[in-house]
A = this chain, B = another copy of it.
Amino acid sequence: MVTLKEIAEICNVSATTVSNVINGKAKTSEETKNKILKVIKETGYKPNVMAQGLRIKRTKTIAIIAEDIAQFTSPAIIESIMEKCEQHGYRVVVHNLRLYDRWADKWYKQYEDYHSVLDPVIRDVLSSQVDGVIYIAGHARVIKAFNDNFELPVVMCYAYSESPDVPSVVIDDEQSAYEMVTYLIENGHRRIGFVGGRSENIHTAQRLLGYQRAMYENGLLFDPKLVYYGDWSRESGYDGAKKLVPQGLTAIFGISDKMTGGIYDYLEENGITVGKDISVAGFDNETISAFFRPQLTTTELPLQEIGRASAVLLLDKLENAKGEKASSSEPYVEKIMCKMVIRQSVRKIKT
């Protein structure tokens, strides 16, 4: 059986150059590349598939790497990616890092723990003959694991990348929160509490910006004392309401439905009726929000749209611009709007 080294000798190039051509790395001239591919074909050379990945042949398979499929956002994103890829004749395999399941929210800054889980999956993906990768984050942040020299096309989903070669698809947190707060203001509300997630979190920061812009554009003072930072849990929503409601609010905006469930808990315990004595808005449109009483007015995450857009970006890379490097030095970011879901928890009041 002919070896990679022998191919290199026949072509009068280094073994590395042959390897680069086999692995689809774009560092070789078109002429050399064609010569090598011709010799490979003539000699019937078969690279070790498990070790190197037979990149000459597209497998029409895509790998999803999900930070955690049990995050409520993940299944819908995964399924819409799959649907779009299948429409284009691609199969999809899912790798699940299970980060939240392993470490709850304790892994965000644990570089080594994170890589101890991610790296074997990346090795697996690289050796398993997929054409490209979509990485699905559990929450928005800048993810640096895929740099300019990564061997496969990658799209970042629900988070930001650092590399111009890795485009990303995220939700428009700022504009979506802006619209909800504008809706509250249109309904006569002036003193609106804000129960955020962790303060260093991108979702929290962006949604707070949207809240502030809506206040500003309506000529309303921003009172920092009406902002509370929770940790996304129901309990922290309760604590937020306890801190903010006694300051005299007519409305309260919880930036996750789960935290808003805790706001409802506090209000019920204190005999304050939602949708009558106080208006409440949530964020996420999780299944739970339609079972709140009264049902919660909230903001629906465009999970299907995020998934589809990520798939379109990757398919485009695979089918239209193989091996091409990004022309901009900034990563491309596609922001997708959320949609308000108006139910019964917000009431119009006299201004």
Q: A293 is contacted by which of B44, B69, B78, B293 (Cβ under 8 Å)? A: B293
The answer to whether A261 touches B79 (Cβ under 8 A) is: no
**Closest approach, in angstroms, between the C-beta of A72 and any C-beta of chain B?**
8
- A40 to B: closest C-beta gap in Å: 14
Inter-chain pairs besides A46-B46, A69-B69, A287-B287, 18 sampled, C-beta below 8 Å: A1-B1, A49-B49, A61-B124, A69-B75, A69-B78, A70-B76, A70-B78, A79-B98, A79-B101, A82-B98, A83-B101, A91-B120, A91-B124, A93-B95, A94-B94, A128-B128, A261-B291, A288-B291
Within the assembled complex, what's the spacing in Å between the Cα atoms of A41 and B265?
68
Cβ contacts A90-127/B at 8 Å (1 or 0 each): 01111110100100000000000000000010001000
The contact string, 1 if C-beta is below 8 Å from chain B, for chain A 29-70, is 000000000000000101001100010000001000000111
Copies of this polypeptide in the complex? 2
**Contact among B69, B75, B268, B291 for A292, CB-based, below 8 A:** B291
- Let me know if A285 is at the binding interface, CB within 8 A: no
| Interface: A168 (CB within 8 A) | no
**A residues with CB within 8 A of B:** 1, 44, 46, 49-50, 54, 61, 68-70, 74-76, 78-79, 82-83, 91-96, 98, 101, 120, 124, 128-129, 261, 264, 268, 286-288, 291-293
Q: Tell me the smallest distance from the CB of A277 to a CB of chain B, in Å.
A: 16
Nearest Cβ distance between residue A196 and chain B, in whole angstroms?
A: 20
Q: Which residues of B contact A82 (CB under 8 A)?
A: 96, 98
Chain B positions within 8 Å of A50 at CB level: 49, 54, 129
Residue of B nearest to A260 (CB): B291
